[in-house]
Amino acid sequence: MRPVDLQIIGEELAIKWEDQTESYVRLETLRRACPCAGCRGEIDVMGQLHKGPEIALAPQSFQLTRISPVGGYAVQPVWGDGHSSGLFTFDYLRRIAAAQQGQGTGAAG
């Protein structure tokens, strides 16, 4: 499922999907779910997780300045603190939205 429209509305990312449903994801939730190696760590060939020091997040870390498409499979957010290495596949973005909705903090139509 692909998003057909993405809009930053206040502290949320509004996503309209191909099937005309809508999801709303809090920007803080999206940033904390960043899948990049710097945020999540990397697994080596032996299956061991290697992670750097915990990244301190400031208020601008949750300000989305831009979100750009990457090929036909992902989007790349650029955050107010300059962080931009996380690629969110459409499937991952949909799972984040669904998980947030399950917590009662988002909506899907």
Q: What is the pLDDT along the chain (109 residues), one digit of tens a residue?
A: 899 999 999 999 999 999 999 999 999 999 999 999 999 888 889 998 888 888 889 999 999 999 999 999 999 999 999 999 999 999 999 999 999 887 644 444 4
Output the pLDDT for position 57: 92
Q: What's the pLDDT at 105?
A: 43
The pLDDT of residue 82:
95
Report pLDDT for 107.
45
| Cβ atoms of residues 82 and 13 within 8 Å | no
What is the reported pLDDT for 103? 62
Residue given tokens 């947030």 in the structure block: 100
Give the predicted TM-score (pTM) of the model: 0.85
CA distance 57 to 101: 24
**In this structure, are residues 48 and 34 in contact, taking their beta carbons and an 8 Å threshold?**
no
Contact (Cβ atoms closer than 8 angstroms) between residue 76 and residue 68: yes
Token look-up 């710097």 returns 38
Q: Is-contact 96 103, C-beta < 8 A?
A: no
Cα diameter, the chain: 43
Into which CATH architecture does domain 3-102 fall?
2-Layer Sandwich (3.30)
Report how far apart, in Å, the C-alpha atoms of 70 and of each of 10, 48, 77, 78 are: 24, 29, 10, 13
